[in-house]
Structure 1
Amino acid sequence: MKKILNENLTLFYTHNYPKFIKNKSTKKYNITLGIGGNIGNTKQLFDKLFLCLLKDSRFDLLMTSPLLLNPPFGYLKQNFFLNGIIQLKSNLCPNDLLKVMQRYEKKFGRKRSFQDAPRTLDIDIIFFDNKKINTEKLIIPHKDWANRESVIIPLNYMNKLKK
C-alpha cells in the first residue's frame, strides 16, 4: 500500500515496514536507526536487513516505520531515496554499534565514493538513548536529523502508530 503525501513524497507500507515486533527487552540501550538507499531493489534490501537484525542476538527489534520515497539532497543527480526508521535495543556501546552497522552496509553492497552519493544501503544512528556524542567518527544525535524529511516523516508516522 502507498500513500502519496505530495508530488515528491510517498509513504509505502510493506510486510515489515511499519511493524511492531517487541514491547519488552532486557537490553540496556534504546536506539533509533535511519535506513536509506537508492540503488537496486531497496525494499527487498530493507527486508533482508530487517531479517538479519531480527536474527542477530545483539539486538531486540522493537518497531519499524513506513518507508518514505523522497528526493535526494546534496548531490541531486541521482534517483529518489527510500528511507525508514528502525527502533531497537542493544547492549552494544555506540562505537561497537557503529562498527556493526558499517559491516551490514558493506554486506549489502555499500560503496563509499563521495558525500551524498547513491548507495544500496545507508544506516545512520539517529539516537542512542539520550546520549550526546561528538567525535570524528560518530555524532549522536545524527547531524541535522531534525531538518531531514527522510527522518522526520517516518519518525512521526511511527510515533502515531505507537499511540
Structure 2
Amino acid sequence: MKKILNKNLTLFYTSNFPKKLSYNSSKKHTVTIGIGGNIGNTKTIFDKLLLYLRNDTRFDLLITSPLLLNPPFGFLEQNHFLNGIIALKTNLAPNDFLKNMQRLEKRLGRKRSFQDAPRTLDIDIIFFDDKKINTQNLIIPHKDWANRESVIIPLKHL
C-alpha cells in the first residue's frame, strides 16, 4: 500500500514497515536509526537488514516506520531514496554500535565513493538514548536530522 503525501513524497507500507515488535527488552540503550537506499531492490535490502538485526542477540527491535520515497539532496543526479526509521535496544556503547551498523552496511553492498553518493544501504544513528556526542567519527543526535523530511516524516509515524 502507498500513500502519496505530495508529488515528491510517497509513504509505502510493507509487511515489515511499519511494524511493532513485541519485546520486553532488558537492554539498557534505546537507539533510533535512519535507513536509506536508492540502489537495487531497497525494500528487500531493508528486509534483510531487519532479519540480521532480529537474529543478532545484541539487538532487540522495537518498532519500524513506514518507508518514505523522497528525492535526493546534496548530489542530485541520482534516483530517489527510500528511507525509514527503526527503534531498537542494545547494550552496546555508541562507538561499538556504529561499527556494527557499518559492518551491516558493507555486508548489504554499501560502497563509499563520495558524500551523498547513491547507495544500497545507509544507516544513520539519529538518537542514542538522550546522549549528545560530537566526535570526528560520530555525531549524535544525527547532524541536521530535524531538517530532513527523510527522517522527520517516518519518525512521526512511530
Same fold (TM over 0.5): yes
1:54 lines up with 2:54 in the alignment: yes
5+ long unaligned stretches in structure 2: none
| Alignment-derived partner of residue 4 in structure 2 | 4
Tell me the number of residue pairs that the alignment of Structure 1 and Structure 2 aligns.
158
| Alignment-derived partner of residue 100 in structure 1 | 100
Task: Answer yes or no: is the 8 Å Cα contact 1:22–1:60 preserved in 2.
Answer: no
Query: How is 1:1-163 mapped onto 2 (pairs within 5 angstroms)?
Result: 1-158=1-158
Task: Spell out, residue by residue over 1:126-159, the C-alpha distance to the aligned partner (whole angstroms, 9 max, x if none).
Answer: 000000000000000000000000000000011x
Task: Answer yes or no: is the 8 Å Cα contact 1:37–1:122 preserved in 2.
Answer: yes
SS at match of 1:54: helix
Q: Which stretch shows the higher mean deviation, 22-31 or 73-82? A: 22-31
Task: Spell out, residue by residue over 1:7-32, the C-alpha distance to the aligned partner (whole angstroms, 9 max, x if none).
Answer: 00000000000000024210000000
Which one-letter code corresponds to 1:58 in the other structure? Answer: R
Task: Answer yes or no: is the 8 Å Cα contact 1:42–1:120 preserved in 2.
Answer: yes
5+ long unaligned stretches in structure 1: 159-163
SS at match of 1:27: coil
TM-score (normalizing by structure 2): 0.99
| Alignment-derived partner of residue 161 in structure 1 | none
Runs of 4+ in 1 over 4 A off after TM superposition: none
TM-score (normalizing by structure 1): 0.96
Cα RMSD after superposing both structures: 0.5
Which one-letter code corresponds to 1:92 in the other structure? Answer: L
Task: Answer yes or no: is the 8 Å Cα contact 1:25–1:60 preserved in 2.
Answer: yes
